[in-house]
Amino acid sequence: MMDKIRIVGGKRLKGAIPIAGAKNAALPLMAASLLADAPLTLTNIPHLTDITTMANLLVELGVTLEVGSVGLDECHTGRKLILDGGTVNSTTAPYDIVRKMRASVVVLGPLLARFGKARVSLPGGCAIGTRPIDYHLKALEQMGAEITLSEGYVEAKLPQGQTRLKAADITFPRVSVGATENVMMAATLADGKTILRNAAEEPEITDLARCLIAMGADIEGVGTSTLTILGVERLHAAGYAVMPDRIEAGTYAIAAGMTNGDITLQNVTADIMEATLTVLEAVGMAFEVDKAARSIRCTLRDGMLRPIEVVTAPYPGFATDMQAQLASLLCLANGRSTITEAIFENRFMHIPELQRMGADITEQANHIIIRGPVSFNAAEVMATDLRASGSLVLAALAAEGETIINRVYHLDRGYERLEEKLAMCGAEIERVRE
């Protein structure tokens, strides 16, 4: 499926956009179903290809999947998934599925903890860097797993005669979202009290911890960088609603900023996106937060965009997943901005495409200098990864004329009903099916 997106930019966007459940929370939450032999009911699941990939992987492992109320093929937010880990009959995550989505690797910890063995294809590199999983593996080894690499697969098992992982005191060398998730899940069923130090504090980790607690896990320090997990014999059935997608929300906030628009984000709270809102305020945006209504109205303060210096960092810092979209906005700011990418080594794939649309950006290793303001011009461009694609959509919304974005499948991994949501605010946008 090589769909394209066609955007005629230059329109002021005005309206309301419902924010979907967070992809990066939903994926590990779905994997948590492997930990119990009873159903896990998840609501507010976004409609995205990455979610379908994870669903396919879990079904491949034997999880019984039931899609509540609305079908997976229907365009509707907030669907319900019932995942029953009681029927798991395989512990192999095959290459064919893992290669489509790196996040598949979060099944490793749960499988190993519950079944004492797991075979998971190595995810390999991706457009934004090498992205190894050494922290995941080293931590599981500290918990007693024997790990070998063979034929492109990670093979993990417990030593002969041992039925549970054993607790350990683990310090991650660097903050890793995926490693924290994998090892936290594994520790819920381990023998004894595991301590995870320098753990990721992302809200998606907190969401996972809360769901695990609802399933009967004993976790302390939720929301901090030290998690203490006392293993239990088994986890039970539970229901949990996925948190809002702060990256989707941040992207549409920037759409308001770039089109001098007025967009109200719905089903989202400001507490999970403080770093983004702070940066956007410094650039010249204004936010009206309605806590009770769970909405955030996004406008420009005085029509003027100011330059800024930003460094990406683990939560609560400015998210690397917002970096590409921010770069598009800063092209319109009056002066010299810089962005330093401190999480991934190769996450400026969108820069050459933005330059083709008129951006004045200089790249120096993990650092970019943006000179503005420029006016974007329409062009035919290519999406390279998920958030890079978001930055191209934003630039296209601000550009005069017709932009064609190729390789839209990247967008479909993480932006639910993108063209519908933007069209509701007055954007001239359509999907061209091939």
CB of 212 to ligand UD1, least distance (A): 16
SS3 348: coil
Contacts of 42 (CB under 8 A, 6+ apart): 26, 29, 30, 80, 81, 82, 83, 211, 239, 240, 241, 242
Which residue in the set 68, 86, 125, 132 belongs to the binding site for ligand UD1 (CB under 6 A)?
132
Q: How far apart are CA 64 and CA 226, in angstroms?
A: 34
Q: Which stretch binds ligand UD1 (CB under 6 A): 173-181, 191-199, 210-218, 298-306?
A: 173-181
Q: Which stretch binds ligand UD1 (CB under 6 A): 111-119, 125-133, 157-165, 405-413?
A: 125-133
Contact pattern from residue 72 through residue 111 relative to ligand UD1, giving x for each residue in contact according to CB under 6 A and a dash for the rest: -------------------------------x--------
Number of alpha carbons in the 13 Å side-chain half-sphere of residue 118: 28
* Total length of the chain: 434
* Strand runs labelled E in 182-275: 193-197, 218-220, 227-230, 238-241, 262-266
Q: How far apart are CA 205 and CA 199, in angstroms?
A: 9
Binding to ligand UD1 (CB under 6 A): which residues in 50-69?
Answer: none
Q: Is 121 in the site for ligand UD1 (CB under 6 A)?
A: no
Q: Is 321 in the site for ligand UD1 (CB under 6 A)?
A: yes
Q: Which stretch binds ligand UD1 (CB under 6 A): 87-95, 126-134, 405-413, 422-430?
A: 126-134
Q: Residue 6: which of 418, 352, 425, 327 has the closest Cα?
A: 418
Establish whether 75 is a catalytic residue.
Answer: no
Q: Which stretch binds ligand UD1 (CB under 6 A): 72-80, 130-138, 281-289, 365-373?
A: 130-138
> Cβ-closest residue to ligand UD1?
178
Q: Which stretch binds ligand UD1 (CB under 6 A): 75-83, 129-137, 257-265, 287-295?
A: 129-137
Q: How far apart are CA 285 and CA 259, in angstroms?
A: 12
Other beta carbons within 10 angstroms of residue 107's beta carbon come to 31
Q: Which lies closer to ligand UD1 via its Cβ, residue 133 or residue 429?
A: 133
Q: Given 75, 126, 298, 425, which residue is catalytic?
A: 126
Other beta carbons within 10 angstroms of residue 60's beta carbon come to 15
Q: Which lies closer to ligand UD1 via its Cβ, residue 134 or residue 141?
A: 134
Which residue in the set 280, 343, 357, 381 belongs to the binding site for ligand UD1 (CB under 6 A)?
343
CB 340 within 8 A of CB 367: yes
**Bridging pattern class, strands 218-220 and 227-230:** antiparallel
**Distances in whole angstroms, Cα of residue 72 to Cα of each of 80, 396, 422, 425:** 9, 29, 22, 25
Contacts of 96 (CB under 8 A, 6+ apart): none
Binding to ligand UD1 (CB under 6 A): which residues in 178-197?
Answer: 178-179
CB of 100 to ligand UD1, least distance (A): 13
Binding to ligand UD1 (CB under 6 A): which residues in 18-37?
Answer: 24, 27
Which residue in the set 31, 48, 57, 133 belongs to the binding site for ligand UD1 (CB under 6 A)?
133
Q: Is 131 in the site for ligand UD1 (CB under 6 A)?
A: yes
Binding residues vs ligand UD1 (CB under 6 A): 24, 27, 103, 129, 131-136, 174, 176-179, 320-321, 343-344
Catalytically active residues are 126
